[in-house]
Amino acid sequence: MSLVKWIDFQSLGDERGSLVAVEVGMDKAVPFDIKRVYYIYHTEKKVSRGYHAHKKLKQVAICVAGKCRMVLDDGKKREEVWLDSPTKGLVIEDMTWREMHDFSDDCVLLVLASEHYDESDYIRDYEEFKKLNGNKL
Ligand code: TYD
């Protein structure tokens, strides 16, 4: 099964421009209650970010401006996608290793998160991640 799961947001555009509304709920786009929102911007050239997985946290990443390349890895396979549209959300499940590369100068990456910030939820060592996720796969 692919690690790449997209949410397609409807663009509520009119002659003035575009608008996307992100809603949470059973029949809505985002499959968890949002406890935290953060955004990454002004990323320096050649910088890559991420290099971690989360034990519990689920996220949806939306590139609301510009673009960046996201790598997802479950310890067995790696897949990569470009985030380059404000109407596309990438669902990042728990226990998924992620890396972000090739940020454009104008990239603003919005992230919706299912939990508050908790450093103890991070797995920052790839070998440890592979060991932990090996049991699940
Ligand atoms: P980090 O998760 O390492 O960023 P990335 O995965 O994008 O490379 O976070 C960078 C710093 O910001 C780190 O010191 C923790 C802090 N931080 C918070 O305080 N709250 C948050 O919600 C996030 C995502 C990070």
- Mean pLDDT of the 59-72 span: 98
Instruction: Determine the pLDDT at residue 135.
Output: 67
pLDDT confidence tier of residue 134, bands split at 50, 70 and 90: confident
**Least confident piece of the model among 8-12, 28-32, 79-83, 108-112:** 28-32
Q: Where are the domains of the chain?
A: 5-11+29-132
Query: What's the CA-to-centroid distance between 95 and ligand 1, angstroms?
Result: 17
Query: What's the CA-to-centroid distance between 124 and ligand 1, angstroms?
Result: 12
Please identify, by atom number, the ligand 1 atom nearest to the C-alpha of residue 119.
15
Q: Is the CB of 40 under 6 A from ligand 1?
A: yes
Q: 112 pairs with which residues across the strands?
A: 37, 60
Q: Name which residue sits closest to atom 18 of ligand 1, judged by CA.
A: 117
Instruction: Determine the pLDDT at residue 109.
Output: 98
52 has catalytic annotation:
yes
Q: Is the CB of 130 under 6 A from ligand 1?
A: no
- Mean pLDDT of the 72-100 span: 97
Question: Quick one: fold of 5-11+29-132?
Answer: Jelly Rolls (2.60.120)
Q: Is the CB of 111 under 6 A from ligand 1?
A: no
Instruction: Determine the pLDDT at residue 1.
Output: 87
Please identify, by atom number, the ligand 1 atom nearest to the C-alpha of residue 52.
6
Instruction: Determine the pLDDT at residue 51.
Output: 98
End-to-end Cα, the chain, rounded Å = 11
Element of type H or E holding 92: strand 88-92
Q: What is the overall mean pLDDT for the chain?
A: 95
DSSP string, 13-68: -BTTB--B---BSTTSSBSS---EEEEEESPPTT--EEEEEESS--EEEEEEES-E
Residue showing tokens 């592979």: 130
Segment 27-56, tens digit of pLDDT: 778 989 999 999 999 999 999 999 999 999
pLDDT of 136 higher than 80 = no
- Mean pLDDT of the 65-90 span: 97
Q: Could you tell me the pTM of the whole model?
A: 0.94
Q: Is the CB of 101 under 6 A from ligand 1?
A: no
